[in-house]
Amino acid sequence: MRDRDPEGRARNARPRDGLGRPLPYGSPGVERQPEGVERTPAETLTEAQRLLDAGMPFHAHEVFEDAWKTGVEADEGLWRGMAQLAVGLTHAARGNAVGGASLLRRGAANVEPYRADAPYGIDIAGLLQWAASLAEELETRPAKIEPDRAAPRLVARPA
């Protein structure tokens, strides 16, 4: 029998670790992000940055996924790409260098069209550089990445 949420949708109730991996039932885990939360772009970026800085890129991906699914259609590619970048970092932190590099490159390709007119103060150029550098590192020297140390800055810091 599948786990169900209060609305009856299938949802795995197993606890998860900070990288989103399922743990045995009854284990202490990291609180999961609520799904379907509508946030402003600024709130999305603030919450995702907090989670990235805490070493929880899987949870940041869920925040971006909400923005992708509940935001304006014109931004769908942006938020999908941001989610893919977070999942790429998740895979890298789990030790999956091939999957991490692939998702980092796919996410970068999805955010690249926003480079010329970077929305919401997102440092698109910086994210593209970060993703390319981390993907190359994973491809040339595959190793587990510390997600909090490898977390990107989403918004350029004021000068």
Q: Summarize pLDDT for 113-149 with one digit per residue, the tens.
A: 999 999 999 999 999 999 999 999 999 987 778 888 8
Q: What is the DSSP string of 74-108?
A: GGHHHHHHHHHHHHHHHHHHHT-HHHHHHHHHHHH
Residue written as token pair 């938020």: 79
pLDDT at 109: 98
Give a yes or no: residue 113 inside a domain: yes
Give a yes or no: residue 100 inside a domain: yes
Taking residues 84-94, report their average pLDDT.
Answer: 95
Higher pLDDT, 72 or 137: 137
- Does the pLDDT value for residue 42 go beyond 80? yes
Token code pair at residue 52: 């990235």
Share of the chain above pLDDT 70, in %: 89
Residue written as token pair 């490159």: 105
Q: What total number of domains does the chain contain?
A: 1
Distance (Å, whole) CA 101 – CA 103: 6
Give a yes or no: residue 18 inside a domain: no
Least Cα distance to 15 among 4, 38, 31, 36 occurs for: 31
CATH number for the domain that contains residue 46: 1.10.3450.10
Least Cα distance to 132 among 149, 112, 113, 148 occurs for: 112
Give a yes or no: residue 119 inside a domain: yes
The reported pTM is: 0.85
- Tell me which residue range forms the domain holding 96: 41-150
Give a yes or no: residue 124 inside a domain: yes
Q: Please, are residues 77 and 109 in contact by the beta-carbon 8 Å criterion?
A: no
SS3 16: strand
Give a yes or no: residue 57 inside a domain: yes
Q: Please, are residues 144 and 92 in contact by the beta-carbon 8 Å criterion?
A: yes
Give a yes or no: residue 84 inside a domain: yes
Give a yes or no: residue 15 inside a domain: no
CB atoms within 10 A of CB 74: 8
Structure confidence at residue 9 as a pLDDT band (50, 70, 90): low
The torsion angles phi and psi of 155, rounded to 5 degrees, stand at -120, 135
